Structures are given as C-alpha cells and as structure tokens.
Amino acid sequence: MIRNIINKAILFARNRCNNFILPTLILLNLLSIQQALAGSIEQKISGDTHNKKVLISQVIEHKALDSTTKGIIDALENAGFKRDVNIDIRIESAQGSPALASQIASKFVSQNPDVVVGVGTISAQSFVKYAADRKVKLVFSSITDPLAANLVQNLDKPGNNTSGVSNFVDLEPQIKLFKRLQPKLKRLGILYNPGEINSVSIVRKLEKLCGQFNLNLVKQIATKTADVPQAATKLVNQSDAIFISNDNTALSALQSIIRAANNVAVPVYVSDTDAVELGALAALGPNQYQLGLQTGKIILRSFKGEDLGKMPVEFPDKTDLYINLEAAAIANVSIPENIRKEATKIIEKSSGS
C-alpha cells in the first residue's frame, strides 16, 4: 500500500515542475520510514504478529481490588502494551457471586485469550479447571491462600498452568500494632464471609494467634454485602476493635462497618492500606497497586513464553503502615510518636468526611 502511494506520488511529481520533485520525494520517504519504524517497534513489543488479549475477572469492586487491577494494566502499558492498539484488555466484575464468576470464566475461555487473570479468590477459582486442562493460562492476584484455594499444587512450582501474586502478610506484626495502639485491647472482632476461602484461612490463623496475645477473637458472619450493616452493628457492640482482613464482602461495604464502629467509638483496623483513607484507623499491609504491578510482570513473562506452572507464587515485596488521625480521634485512640515516625503515610482526614 505504501509503495503504491509512493509510486503515484513520483509520477505526479514528474508531471509537475522540477522544483517540487525533490521535496516531494523526501517527504514521502520520511513518511515511509516513520511508518516502517512504528511497525517495527509494535512488532518488537508484542513479540509476535497478533495482538495480545488479557481478560480480567475481578471478584467484586472495592478500592483495594480496583487498585490491584489498575496496577496490572499500568504494568502492561509501561511495557509498551497499549489498550486498543496492540492489546485487548477487558475487565468484568463477578459482584461477589461464585455463579457469576463461573459464567464470566466460561465466556472468557471461549474467547481464546493469551492470559486470564483472576483478581480475588472466587474469580481465580472459576478458572482452575480450564487452566488444569491447559485451555487457558491463569495468573491470579490478591489471593490470601493459593494452596487452600486449590489454585496451585505448590508455592514454588505451582503447576496447573497457573501462577500469580498473594496478598498475604504475616498477621503477628499486625496484632502487635493493634496492641501498641490499644494496650487494653481484649476483644478483637472480625467480620467475614465463610464462603471466601481467603477469609476462612485468615480466621483460622487468627484463632491460633490471638491466644498468644491474650485476645478473644469475636467472629461475625456476613455472606453478602446487604448483611454487612446489621452484622457490623452487632459486632462493634461486642468488641474493643474490629479487624477486616482481606474479606472482599466486608471490604466492599467497609464504610457501613466504619459508620457502625464510629457510633460507639470502636476503631477499625484493616489489612489493605487503600482502605485507611476511607475511615479505618490503621493498616500494616501491602500496597494493592504494587501487587498489581507484580502481577503484570508475571503476565509479561508469560507473553515471552515462560511456563506459568514453573513460576513461583510471589508475595508482597514489603508492607506499609498507614495511619488515619481523624479515625483515631473518633475512636479516642492516641497515636504514639514512635508509631507516627514508623508510618509510611499519615492521613489527616478521611475521604468524603
């Protein structure tokens, strides 16, 4: 096509004044070179002749997982993959429903993607059978316990055409932080959905850990977001503090938990730093956006032909401490100066306040 245009332009130039011939030929050659270079760059980025297709199923929409998904997309774009140019990225939310997650997975697999991504345990689990049958390559993100969720066979050699990033960080430093902020803390409340394997795993770990810190773990179940406000009201009246750790049902309705807790001056702690600006008092946990960036890098390695099943599952590179001073004031919790100095970020006022 370009060659035809150039030939026609040369013929046109020959029929015109010689003064126009040289500039015309120079311009056309420059345009030809520019297009050739652009094509060469795009081919180098993609690594083959077809555009990539990455289909993302996100278990539910809330700030932490939204940040993870954004990190995934940014990692791909930083590597030269531009949406609607040389990569097709689609995102769908399962709205916390295993049935809807299953429907999304079936639809995505039928579209022959290069990679499917499960953000959150339920969404990732919906792809397991397809990945095991080698119908898709599965990369997961923000999964608390990939082994308990049966996503992988081994953390070092995952198998199942699958790998990804866990958001789990050690619970003990988090409990120590709560005790430093509330030395008289005795009753730690946790609201969780027993249908989320990630949450069940956290509760089991906390049951063992709380005994070491002379804490009574007060458990309250909410199986859907509509149940959260009532469950939260009950829980805050039985607890000295609330801890929401990686439960997507609770996180998607976090502000209703915070409102219930604020009414009785009970602090809310979270494991996701993104949730602190919404009104939680503190979080010692991973940056969900960074988890997304880590996940994106695994996808890029897959594009280059690496076997996902041989890529070790990754965990957060580090933890950050976020403190919300407004939330602390509402809960009558004084933030010691040494903890302020340790903080990665101090938030003066909650968003939407």
Q: pLDDT (tens digit, 9 = 90+) per residue, 281-323?
A: 999 999 999 999 999 999 999 999 999 999 999 999 899 999 9
Residues 6+ apart with CB under 8 A from 346: 322, 323, 325, 340
pLDDT band at 220 (very low <50, low <70, confident <90, very high): very high
**Cα 55 to Cα 65: distance, rounded to the nearest angstrom:** 15
For residue 216, the cross-strand partners are: 187
Q: What is the predicted pLDDT for the residue at 56?
A: 98
pLDDT for residue 233 is more than 80: yes
pLDDT band at 45 (very low <50, low <70, confident <90, very high): very low
Q: What is the predicted pLDDT for the residue at 138?
A: 98
Q: By the 8 A CB rule, do 308 and 138 touch?
A: yes
pLDDT band at 351 (very low <50, low <70, confident <90, very high): confident
Q: What is the sign of the dihedral through the CA atoms of 198, 204, 206 and 209?
A: negative
The owner of tokens 């602390």 is 328
Q: Which of 5-9, 50-54, 207-211, 238-242 bottoms out in mean pLDDT, i.e. has the lowest?
A: 5-9
Q: Which of 49-63, 88-102, 124-138 bottoms out in mean pLDDT, i.e. has the lowest?
A: 49-63
pLDDT for residue 164 is more than 50: yes
Other CB atoms within 10 A of residue 17 CB: 7
Q: By the 8 A CB rule, do 331 and 265 touch?
A: yes
Q: What pTM, to 2 d.p., does this model score?
A: 0.81
Q: What is the predicted pLDDT for the residue at 282?
A: 98
Percent of the chain with pLDDT over 70: 85
| Mean pLDDT, rounded, for 16-20 | 47
**Cα 201 to Cα 146: distance, rounded to the nearest angstrom:** 10
pLDDT for residue 197 is more than 50: yes
| Mean pLDDT, rounded, for 24-53 | 49
| 25-31 contact pairs (CB < 8 A, 24+) | 31/2
pLDDT band at 350 (very low <50, low <70, confident <90, very high): confident
**Cα 82 to Cα 97: distance, rounded to the nearest angstrom:** 30
pLDDT for residue 15 is more than 80: no
**Cα 302 to Cα 143: distance, rounded to the nearest angstrom:** 19
What is the b/e burial string over 200-234, where b = at least 16 CB atoms within 10 angstroms of the residue's CB? bbbbebbeebbeeeebebbebbbeebebbbebbbb
| Mean pLDDT, rounded, for 239-260 | 96
pLDDT band at 27 (very low <50, low <70, confident <90, very high): very low
Residues 6+ apart with CB under 8 A from 349: 325, 326
Q: What is the mean pLDDT of the chain?
A: 89
pLDDT band at 33 (very low <50, low <70, confident <90, very high): very low
**Cα 21 to Cα 31: distance, rounded to the nearest angstrom:** 16
Q: What is the predicted pLDDT for the residue at 352?
A: 60
pLDDT band at 50 (very low <50, low <70, confident <90, very high): low
